Amino acid sequence: MTEAPAGKPVLAVDLGGTKIVTALITPQGRILSREYSPTLAEEGVDDVIRRILTTATTLVKNADLPYSSLSGIAIAAAGAIDTEKGVVTDSPNLPGWHNIPLKARIEQATGARTFVLNDATAAALGEHRFGAGRGVNNLIYLTVSTGIGGGIIIGGKLYSGATGSAGELGHMTIDLNGPHCPCGNIGCLEMLASGKAIAREAQRLIAQGARTMMLEMAEGDARYVSAQTVANAAHKGDAVALSVVNKAATYLGVGLVNFVNIFNPEMIIVGGGVGKMGETLLRPARKVVAERAFQFPASVVRIVSSELGDNSGLFGAVAFVADADRSL
Amino acid sequence: MTEAPAGKPVLAVDLGGTKIVTALITPQGRILSREYSPTLAEEGVDDVIRRILTTATTLVKNADLPYSSLSGIAIAAAGAIDTEKGVVTDSPNLPGWHNIPLKARIEQATGARTFVLNDATAAALGEHRFGAGRGVNNLIYLTVSTGIGGGIIIGGKLYSGATGSAGELGHMTIDLNGPHCPCGNIGCLEMLASGKAIAREAQRLIAQGARTMMLEMAEGDARYVSAQTVANAAHKGDAVALSVVNKAATYLGVGLVNFVNIFNPEMIIVGGGVGKMGETLLRPARKVVAERAFQFPASVVRIVSSELGDNSGLFGAVAFVADADRSL
C-alpha cells in the first residue's frame, strides 16, 4: 500500500456541457487555483480535449507544479462513463462523445495518471468527503438540474454497482402512467421534478393564460422561460412560479420517500442548479417524506442542501484520487 | 476475533403468522433436524414464546445437543424488528406483538445467545450465502407473498441502513396516482404486485363477470379467491388468471427497472409465495426490464427465482450468526 504524500495536489476537471472548470486542489480540499474555459462541444471532441489540456497546462505552469508532481488528474464528466477504462461511453451534454478514451488521451499528453468519473457520482463523493455529508456513513446525493442524477455512499464508500452505473436515481418510475422519458423508461422522477420538467410546466401554465411575471422575465417569449426563470420569479413571490416549484417539490418528495424506505439513509443531500432553490424546494419535499415514508427512517433522515454547490464535482474528483491510492 | 468452531450448529427459527419452523443447521448449511408448530398468535405473546421454546427444546434434546453447545439461536420474524436490541417492534402477522423483547426472553430461558431479525432480511442473507446468490457481491432479494419485502446485499454484506430498516422494497411508489397503502404511502409496489393485489384484481374481474375456473376453485365464493387460486388457475391455462398474473408481473417489472437503475445489481432474486410461480411471473417482468431499464445494467442483471424457497429465512438466520462471530 502506497499513499500520496499529504499536500500533493490533484488536478480536478469538471467537464460540463457549457463550461470546463479546472482546479488544483490539495488532498485536504484547499483550492490552490482555478481556470475556466467554454466547452464548445459542437467544435468536436479533439477541440474539447485540447481546451482541457490548455487550461490544465496553464494551471500547472502558473503554480510551478509539473504534471509529475501531481497526485493525479481526475475528470468529472456528464454522461455514461466507463470509469474502469476511463472512457466516456455516451453523453447527452457532449454531442459526438461516443466511446471517447478520455483517460488515455489525457495520460498520453500529460504523463499523469488520469481518472474519469460521472459528474453526479463525483458530486456525491465530494459532498461526502468535504461537504454536507462529512462523517456520514450512508447517504444519498441527488443532483437536480436540467436532469436528475445521483450518487450513493454506503459504509462511507461510493457504491457503484456491478458495472459502475449504479445511482441513476432520476430514472426511477414514480408514475407508471406518466410521460415517456428519453431514457426509455416511463414516468421517471426526472420527467416530473427536474429543471426540464419545471420549465415545461411553467410554459404550459403560461400557454393556458396564467398571469405571471415569468413571461415578462423571458422577454415575452414563453419558450425562454427556464427553471432559472421559475426560481427567480418564485423568489419574488410570483404565485404561478411558486405553484410550479411546489408541484416539482412534491414529486421530488415522492422520490425521496422511495429512497428513505429503500435505503434508510442518514442523510439525503440535494444539489444541482434546481437544488440551489434550497428550502423553497426542500420544505415541501420534506413534508411529503414526513407524511408518507416509514416513520422511523423518516424521523432520522436529514434532508439537506449541498454545501459545495458547483464545486462538489471538483472535490469529488479529488476524493476519488485519494480513494484510488488507498485501495492500491 | 473469535470464530465459532466449524460444525457448531445454529438453532434457526422462522416465526411466521401461521407457523413456527425450528431447525438445527450446521454453519455449512446442513439441516440436522427440523420441527414445526402452529403459531396461534391469537393466544397471546407468552403462548407463542412458549411454543418456540418447547419446539426448540425438543430439537436440542433429540439431537443430544445442549443449548450451551450451540453457536446461537437466531429468529427470523415477520415485521419491524430492532435487531440491535432483539425486539419485535411491530408485526402485522403477529397481532399483539408490540415492543416484545424476544431476544431477552429466549436468552433468559435457554442461556444461549439469541438474535432476532426481519424475515425478508434473513431470506436475502440466506439466498446470498446458501442459495441463488452464492458468490454474488451485489444483489437485491425481493419476497413477493401477501406483501412485498426485501433485502439488499452490498459488497457481500447485508445492508441495513442507518437504523436497520433498509430494504422496504415493497413500499416504493411506482404509481403516484395509485391506491393508498396501509403503510401510509401511495401507489406502492406492494399494492400492485403482491399476493393481496393479485387476489384483489382476480376478485374484481370475477365481480365484473369474467369467465374463469377460479370461481369454481373457490367453491363459488369470489371472496375465497386467493393469489394461490390465481396461480393454480394460471398453471392450468385459465386466461383470466393468466391476465391477472401478467398484470402483476408487469408492475413487478416496473419495480425491478427501478432497482436496476438505482443499484446496477448483479442479481435480483424473487422469492416468497407468489414468487413460486417462477417463470410465469419472471418472464413478463424481465421483458419490462429489457424494454425500460438502462441498457447496460439491464444486460448484466440476472433475474432469478429463490433457490431455497421456504427455507431461505432459516438459512439466513444461520448466516446471521456466522456474521456476528466474524464481526466480533
Sequential DSSP letters for A267-298: EEEEEHHHHTTTHHHHHHHHHHHHHHS-HHHH
- Judge whether B79 and B183 are in contact, CB under 8 Å: no
Residue B148 backbone class (left: φ over 0; alpha: ψ -120 to 50; beta: rest): beta
Mean pLDDT for each 10-residue chunk of chain B (328 residues)?
66 94 96 94 95 96 95 94 91 88 98 96 97 98 95 96 93 97 95 97 97 96 96 97 98 98 98 96 98 95 97 97 82
At residue A43, what is the residue type?
E
Tell me what the pLDDT averaged over chain A comes to: 94
Q: Is the pLDDT of residue A268 over 70?
A: yes
Domain range list for chain A: 10-124+311-326, 133-306
Write the DSSP string, A55-100: HHHHHHHHTT--GGGSSEEEEEESSEEETTTTEEEE-TTSTT-EEE
Q: Find chain A residues with C-beta within 8 A of B165's C-beta.
A: 264, 294, 296-297
Residue A269 has pLDDT above 70, yes or no: yes
Q: In this structure, are residues B51 and B60 in contact, taking their beta carbons and an 8 Å threshold?
A: no
Q: Looking at beta carbons, which residues of chain B come within 8 Å of A262?
A: 152, 166-169, 172, 262
**Which amino acid is present at B83?**
T
The answer to whether residue B162 neighbours chain A at the CB level (below 8 Å) is yes
Question: Hey, which CATH number is domain A10-124+311-326, 3.40.630.30, 3.40.640.10, 3.40.50.620, 3.30.420.40?
Answer: 3.30.420.40
Residue B80: the pLDDT is 86
Is residue A90 less than 8 Å (CB to CB) from chain B? no
Tell me, what's the pLDDT at B132?
Answer: 98
For residues B289-327, one letter each, b for 16 or more C-beta atoms within 10 angstroms of the residue's C-beta and e for the rest, the string is beebbbebbbebbebbbbbbebbbbbbbbbbbbbeeeee
What homologous superfamily is domain B10-119+311-326 in, according to CATH? ATPase, nucleotide binding domain (3.30.420.40)
Contacts of A223 (CB under 8 A, 6+ apart): A203
Q: Of the CATH numbers 3.10.129.10, 1.10.357.10, 3.40.50.1360, 3.30.420.40, which one belongs to the domain with range B132-306?
A: 3.30.420.40
Residue B119 CA to residue B274 CA, distance in Å, equals 16
Amino acid at site A28: Q
Contact: A258, B296; criterion CB under 8 Å: no
- Phi-psi bin for B76: left (phi > 0), alpha (psi -120 to 50), beta? beta
Distance from CA of B124 to the nearest CA of A (A): 14
Please check the confidence at residue A5 and state whether its pLDDT lies above 80: no
Residues in chain B with CB shorter than 8 Å from the CB of A186 are 254, 292
Q: Which of A49, A11, A55, A10 is nearest to A35 (CA)?
A: A55
The answer to whether the beta carbons of residues A17 and A39 sit under 8 Å apart is yes
Q: Is residue B150 within 8 Å of residue B316, measured between CB atoms?
A: no
pLDDT at A271: 97
Domains A10-124+311-326 and A133-306 share a fold: yes
Contact A294 B186 (CB under 8 A): no
Q: Which of A163, A177, A292 sits opposite B186 (nearest CB)?
A: A292
Q: What is the ipTM of this complex?
A: 0.94
Per-residue pLDDT at B15:
95
In tens, the pLDDT along A68-116 reads 999 999 999 988 898 999 999 988 788 889 999 999 999 999 999 999 9
Alpha carbon distance A123, A74 (integer Å): 13
Residue A6 pLDDT > 80: no
Distances from the Cα of A184 to the Cαs of A23, A121, A223, B187, B294, in angstroms? 36, 21, 25, 21, 8
A133 touches chain B (CB under 8 A): no
Q: Which chain A positions have a beta carbon within 8 Å of B154's beta carbon?
A: 154-155, 159
| Per-residue pLDDT tens digits for A112-130 | 999 999 999 999 999 999 9
**Bridge partners of A74?**
A12, A115
Domain A133-306 sits in CATH at: 3.30.420.40
Cα first-last separation, chain B: 6
Q: What's the confidence (pLDDT) of residue A102?
A: 98
DSSP state of B219: T
Q: What is the pLDDT of residue A1?
A: 43
Cell of B307: 433457490
